[in-house]
Structures are given as C-alpha cells and as structure tokens.
Amino acid sequence: MPRVTLKTVAAEVGVSPATVSNAYNRPDQLSAELRSRILAVAAELGFTGPDAAGRALRTGRSGAVGVLLTGHLSYAFSDPYAVGLFAGLASAVERTTSIVLLPLPLDEHGEPDLSVVRRANIDALALLSLPATHPVADLARARGISVVTTDPLDDPDASWVAIDDRRTGVLVGEHLAALGHGDVLVVAPAEDAPAGSAVQVVDPPRIAIVDYSSRLSGLSDTLGGRITMVTAGQNDFASGQRVAEWVLEREVLPTAVVGLSDVLALGVLEGLLAAGVDVPGQVSVCGFDDIPAAAPRGLTTVRQPITERGHEIGRMLLDPDQGPRQVMMPIELVERRTSGPARPA
C-alpha cells in the first residue's frame, strides 16, 4: 500500500501541501471549516501529521528546549526548589515548545559525558547549577544552540538568570554572627552520592556545585574559621535527618546548623526536634531558598523568587533575541523562629 504523505492529503482535498501543513502547524492561518475538512480527510487516509524530523530539517528548529541537570533526573520531580523552578519555566514555554530533561553523567574517567548534548535535538539549553564556562556550554554554542545559565557571567553576550548566591551566604553569616554563634555546622549535598550515604566531614570546606560554592564562600568569609562542613548524600530531606543523628552523637552540639538548601535544613530541623533538642535555644537552624515548606516550619532562610526565576529562564530559552538577557533576581533574609541567640558557653 502506498505511503500516505502530506502531498497525498493535499491532492485529495484539492489544496496545496503548504495549506495541509498549516492545518497542523499554523491553524490560525486557516478557516475552521477548511482545517476541519483537511483533518477529516487525513484521518480517512490514515495520515497522522507531518514528519517531525523532516520539519526540523526544513526549518532548522526542533521545537524543543533542553534543561541540563547535574544530578539524577528524579531531582526535577522530587526537590521542591526544582519543582518550583520547572513550573515557572514550563509556564513560559509550554504553549509552543517541548522541554527535554538531560542528565549529565560522568564517563569512565570521571569526566562529564558531553555526548548527551552532542545527541540532543534542541534549539536552546538551560544549565542549572553549572558554571557558565563549563565545557558543555562551549559544545552547545559550537552547535549553534543558545545557552541560558544560572551563573552570572561577565560577558555582554551571555544569557543568564541569577541571584547573588555569595550574598545569600553573607546574609546568613551576618545574621548568625550578630546572634553570637561561634560554632556553625554547614550541611551540603554530596555530588553524585548514592542515597543513604554516611555523613562525612569535608575539610577544608569546599563544594564544586556553583551556587552552593558561592553560598559557602559568603558564609566562610563572614564567619571566618567558625564553620565545619559535612555532607550526607543527595540534596534531600533524608540527608538532613542523617546529619541530625550525627550531630546528636557529638560531645558538644554546634550552636547553629546551616543547610545550603532548605530541604537539608528542614531534615536537620526535624531530626533535632524529634530528639528533644530546643531549637533555637540550644541550636539555631537556617537554610536557603524559602521553599513552600519553610514558612510553616518557621525556618530562617534566604528567599529567592523561585518560580519567577524559572519563568525568566524559559522566556530566554524561547526567544534568544528578546531582552533583557541578563537578569539578577532579588533576595532577602527571612528571619523566623528557628534562629536565635547562641546558647551561653
């Protein structure tokens, strides 16, 4: 049986192939009656629509944007910050464009496997929590794919939607310093760690994830040598709970615990409260981002406009030529009941 094509439908209806194409791709260009007639004939002939690959070759556009994730893909659906960011991004692109989630695994040598970007059929790419100078960004640009990052780059041609992550660390550090805290434990996610990882002390404190690294830098510069850093696996609530168990085994409790994300801080908070620790009387707890669960638990944190940030990223992905192309989102320290004066020595 001969293959039914767009030209077959056009000949049957008595219109041009371009008109049939418009029935699927640009319905606003046709009357409702003509479009209905074309689709009815197409259905009778068994034609399901123009070939996507062929359309991409003709237009030079795939109709999809990519979002590169450094962690597991499940992070996009489980982490409250990521959920809010993706909701905002989707609101900007969902009517005209698909979203492709791309993981960035490590190869056998422990280096980022760039093949995921080499194979990706996308028009634009968002890099989350990766430096704007990462090799994956260079590869995407070499392929003619526009790139939007969350890392501010001192380049007038760069596109980014950022917050001043170092400043967020300074805000929390200044808050705790003013309250007299001299022994602060910082909780960070471990890169590529399996779920349930044991707590490990990181000395000297360091982390490669760009936004967390900037937060840590702000904390360190403000609090000096008064911080200790640990990791306990992925960026999730359970990791924070394991840190709380580890804290309770120490001879002396820290005066404050800072999670580099709210989910880590909330896990620590829940673990301490379950053990009967007075928060903030014995230990203060702070986080970053102000996810929806932070306010009900009274968590002191630094607020950023998560959904709005995602929407701005989506806007830039959808239209690389529309400005502005560099947006610094506002932040503010939100003082709640989980932080207070350091306990007496």
End-to-end CA distance of the chain: 87
The segment(s) of the chain belonging to CATH 3.40.50.2300 are 64-163+306-329, 165-304
pTM for the structure as a whole: 0.81
Q: In what order do the strands lie in the sheet with 160-162?
A: 98-103, 64-69, 124-127, 146-149, 160-162, 326-328
CA 317, CA 197: separation in Å to the nearest integer?
A: 36
Instruction: Please report which confidence band the pLDDT of residue 56 belongs to, taking 50, 70 and 90 as the band edges.
Output: very low
Instruction: Please report which confidence band the pLDDT of residue 97 belongs to, taking 50, 70 and 90 as the band edges.
Output: confident
Architecture of domain 64-163+306-329 in this structure: 3-Layer(aba) Sandwich (3.40)
Q: Which CATH number fits domain 6-50: 1.10.260.40, 1.20.210.10, 1.10.238.10, 1.10.10.60?
A: 1.10.260.40
The segment(s) of the chain belonging to CATH 1.10.260.40 are 6-50
Least confident of 90-94, 243-247, 269-273: 90-94
- Which tens digit of pLDDT belongs to each residue from 209-233? 889 999 999 999 999 878 999 998 8
Least confident of 40-49, 165-174, 278-287: 40-49
Architecture of domain 165-304 in this structure: 3-Layer(aba) Sandwich (3.40)
CA 80, CA 94: separation in Å to the nearest integer?
A: 20
Sequence-ordered list of residues with C-beta below 8 angstroms from that of 239, at least 6 positions apart, any chain = 187, 189, 197, 231, 232, 233, 264, 267
Residue 243, CB half-sphere, CA atoms under 13 Å: how many?
36
